[in-house]
Chains A and B, each alone.
Chain A
Amino acid sequence: MMDLIRRGYVTAPVLGVMWTFVIATTVAISMSFATGAAFRPIGSGALIWGIALGFGCLPGPNWKAAVTALVVAAATMAGFGPIATGTGVSIFSSLLGALATAGFAALGLRIMLDEVEMGPINRHTFEAAVIRFCTGFGYIFFTAIVLIPFYVMVLTSLKNQAELIQNPLDFSIDLSKGTELFRSYNELFMQFDFGVYLLNSFLISVLTVFITLLFAVPGAYAVARLRFKGRAAFSRSILLIYMVPMIVLALPIYIAFSMTGLRNSLGGIILIYPVTTIPVALYMLQGYFRGLPAEVEEAGLMDGLSRLMVIWKITLPLSLPAMASVSLYVFMIAWNEFLLAFMLLDDPSKFTLTRGIASLNSSEIPRQHLMAGSVIATVPIMAIFLGLERFMTKGLTAGSVKG
């Protein structure tokens, strides 16, 4: 079986068919999402033209692959290709679709089938070709699944309900509308107080970061550097607490807040949020503190600094990158927190962003408002994340598998 497939004249067409189908589906979906017009991949077309492309793209002169691709594009325009267009699709977009399908299919196969010959091929060449196929497929697949929901989110927020119901696939934007495009955003800020929510969220997140660090830094230092009975047990129980589900705690917190009147106040939220993040922060920081050379601190102690001064003057300046990671991570948790805000805040003047978005989820409010709200909540955290990605990825890997 393995011997049979490890022959150029089997490997090339098989990969050709699979790759052509992947490309045909990708192009059809992208063209549909971009223009709203009807594109679809054709299985039989992908089969026939995939075989042709597989053979055409075997190592050899470039013109062979180019000619095959052109033939496929022409066949597509004639209606026999790997993708088909519905009625009413403009000639320009169908030409674009045909060329993209044939071109990307040929280009990919050309790279994949490097060193694959017509006859028997060795294991290395075969596996390398398969891996290149999987890699290509992987890039397309992951990029698509990640981008599509965000694409839908952003473009829905720029359209209106009637347009969306008429053709759910038509995400094309009429740029001539100008600022009118951002009407949903305008309404959210003018009528729904999203400016206040944005401010609330920001304030709560920043305060949460500061309070968390205030508690976690000394704690983490103690766990990392000082010897005391019960240190191991303590660092395990931190992890254990980190595993307690929020919903289990939310119920008694809800009851206690209802009875003490802390519900519906930002103060109550600020009391709770840092505690949910302190264990994570402590855990991440103690890992980092442990990695710092103890000698520097000992030198400080010898020179007559107290422990607290050592933390302040030596440990903290040395661990600024870790503090940045932890702060970012805590900020992200606080910014994205939904459950507690949802349960504890009922008063629209005190909503956080996530709570505000939840309040938009009703049949009376058009969906573009909901999506515009989502964009407003997503953009700041994305901007911070992309700007400081290096810290963020470090912070995430430093000790947090929580989500």
Chain B
Amino acid sequence: MTEAVPPKGTGPLARIEARLAWGLLAPTIIAVALVVILPLLAIFWISFKPVALADLRAPEVVLREDIRGDDEAVGDQANIRYRLRNSSQDQPIRGVTFTDRLPEGLTVTELDPRCTLEGRDLSCDLGDWEGGYRENLMIPVTVGQAYLDNAERPKDSPATTTGRASNVLTNATFTLDNFARVFDGSEFWSVLWVTLFYTVFGTVGALLFGLFAALLLNKSFRGQGILRGLYLFPYVSPIIAVAFAWILLFDPFSGSANALLIQMGVTQQSINFFGERPLALIMVTVFEIWRYFPLSFLFILARMQSIDSDMYEAADMDGASPFQKFWSLSVPQLLGILSVLFLLRFIWTFNKFDDIFLLTGGNAGTRTLTVNVYEQAFAISNIGAGAAVAVVIFGCLLLFSFLFFRYISQEEGL
């Protein structure tokens, strides 16, 4: 009898299983590829392109047509006027042509050398146009009886235009200007510093507050459920609603916070919380802590409730004081979830855009990298520079995720 050997390679059953698995995953993979991977590649492409917001529309031929002069009686001399221009101020259009159908009863008296007329069909070849080119093309005509009998006027038949314009997004022009602009001067470093301050303090603050809140609620008493629900409010409600509530609360002219501080004698003059230089950054960080402490709170509380209570009973028997129990029992048990939360929150705070955008719009020294993407792309209308900032963000993100997968233990289940 031969020795039994485990089968090698993949058997037919395993292959069927794998095929089914990929089949089940296919919709997700396709969707994610279309909406995440493709845009990411696009960002890299655009970041090397000199593209502004206005360039998103390719240059095109703009044509307006009207009739000038009398066209009231037979034999009247009139002009059909074509007003043509290049919609772009700096992009050329090549091989511009247009065709139009003249109304019945108009006799062309003189034809522009670039145009030909076959029956009533007019076609003109206008050659290449530079950016900002404009021209008025006149076609002199004599009015005949048929024109007067007919309701058809030159405007009624729309002219069709053609022209080849190169789209800056798809042509072969590349530039490093975007990156040069992003890294240029002190601005980049100040943006980076603001981002780091916001991320580090926002993350640590949210964790500490979450830990404190979890300690408060880690016992059963009446109303514990209500308080737990209440403490999650900031996280659950729409960002735009709470951001505006904060703006109103801290308004320098009619905000309640200022009125309260003045009344209590803390300050004489009202403080512009979201408009002064160091204070605005502190305020957006405080907002970040306020909004995201519930999340840390929830996770830490869940972890705390899964700690075995036997350990605490043993510690009680040994005469450990409450602080000793906290430091020597709870903290080591919580370190795992705390480090996971720290890394994840760090990454997501780094990525945060809406909060600062809504609170200060990135003014008063609160411009983080993410706000800078918006600022460059839409406020300055330089899409290429915005994409370059996005690439920088993506680079940082890759670094963080590397650290994340490297140092996070699997047993925390994340």
List the interface of chain A (C-beta within 8 A of B). Answer: 28-29, 32-33, 38-41, 86, 123-124, 127-128, 131, 135, 138-139, 142-143, 145-150, 152-153, 156, 164-165, 167-169, 171, 214-216, 218-219, 221-223, 226-229, 231, 234, 236, 239-241, 243-249, 251-253, 255-256, 258-259, 271-272, 274-276, 278-279, 282, 287, 307, 332, 335-336, 338-339, 353-354, 357-358, 361, 367, 370-371, 373-375, 377-378, 381-382, 385-386, 389, 392-393, 396-397, 399, 401-403
A278 to B46, CA, bound (A): 26
Residues of chain B lying within 8 A (CB to CB) of residue A29: 260
Would A282 and B28 count as touching, CB distance under 8 A? yes
What is the bound-complex CA distance between A242 and B370, given in angstroms? 16
Give min CB distance, A364 to chain B, whole Å. Answer: 16
Question: Which single member of B234, B241, B254, B256 contacts A146 (CB below 8 Å)?
Answer: B234
CB distance from B144 to the nearest CB of A (A): 43
A33 to B322, CA, bound (A): 37
Taking the closest CB of chain A, its distance from the CB of B238, in whole angstroms, is: 4
Q: Identify the closest chain B residue to A245 (Cβ).
A: B351
Cα of A131 to Cα of B330 in the assembled complex, Å: 15
**Residues of B near any A CB (own CB < 8 A):** 14, 17-18, 20-22, 24-25, 27-28, 31-32, 34-36, 38-40, 42-43, 46, 56, 169, 212-213, 215-216, 225, 227-242, 244-246, 248-249, 251, 253-256, 258-260, 263-265, 290-292, 295, 298-299, 302, 321-323, 340-341, 344-345, 347-348, 350-354, 357-358, 370, 373-374, 377, 383, 386-387, 390, 393-394, 397, 400-401, 405, 413-414
7 more contacts with CB within 8 A, not counting A164-B254, A385-B232, are A153-B241, A168-B254, A245-B350, A338-B358, A374-B238, A396-B298, A401-B348
Number of A-B contacts (CB under 8 A): 286
| Max chain B C-beta neighbours (<10 A), residue from A243, A287, A385, A386 | A243
- Contact B353 A339, beta carbon cutoff 8 Å: yes
- Nearest A-chain residue to B345, judged by Cβ: A401
Residue from A219, A245, A336 in contact with B370 in the complex, judged by beta carbons closer than 8 Å:
A245
- Determine whether the beta carbon of B238 is less than 8 Å from that of A336: yes
**Which residues from A are CB-within-8-Å of B340?**
401
| Chain A residues with CB under 8 A of B35 | 249, 253, 271-272, 275-276
Residue among A218, A255, A259, A272 having the largest count of chain B Cβ atoms under 10 Å: A255
Q: Report chain B residues within 8 Å CB of A32.
A: 260, 263
Q: Are A244 and B40 in contact (CB under 8 A)?
A: yes
CB distance from A303 to the nearest CB of B (A): 18
Given contacts A272-B35, A382-B236, A403-B292, are A169 and B401 in contact (CB under 8 A)?
A: no
| With contact pairs A142-B216, A222-B20 given, residues A40 and B265 touching in the complex (Cβ less than 8 Å) | yes
- In the complex, which residues of chain A have a beta carbon less than 8 angstroms from the beta carbon of B31? 215, 274-275, 278
Cα separation A249 to B46 with both chains bound (whole Å): 12
Q: Assess the A143–B258 pair: CB atoms within 8 A.
A: no
Give the docked Cα–Cα distance between A251 and B49 (Å): 14
Is A252 in contact with B42, judged by CB distance below 8 angstroms? yes
Which residues of chain A have C-beta atoms less than 8 A from B27's C-beta?
214-215, 218-219
**Complex alpha-carbon distance, A112 and B29, angstroms:** 58
> Nearest Cβ distance between residue B410 and chain A, in whole angstroms?
10
CB of A187, distance to nearest CB on chain B (Å): 17
- The residue of chain B having its C-beta at the shortest distance from the C-beta of A279 within the complex is B32
B347 & A123 in contact (Cβ 8 Å cutoff): no
Chain B nearest CB from A247 CB (Å) reads: 4
Query: Are B212 and A401 interface neighbours, CB within 8 A?
Result: no
Assembly CA distance A215 to B298 (angstroms): 28
Bound-complex Cα distance A374 to B353 (A):
19
Structural contact, A354 and B39, CB atoms closer than 8 A: no
Contact A385 B353 (CB under 8 A): no
The answer on a CB contact under 8 Å between A275 and B353 is: no
Q: What would be 12 A-B contacts, judged by CB atoms less than 8 Å apart? A: A28-B264, A146-B233, A148-B249, A222-B25, A241-B36, A253-B35, A275-B36, A287-B413, A357-B240, A377-B237, A381-B237, A401-B299
- Contact in complex: B229, A389 (CB < 8 Å): yes
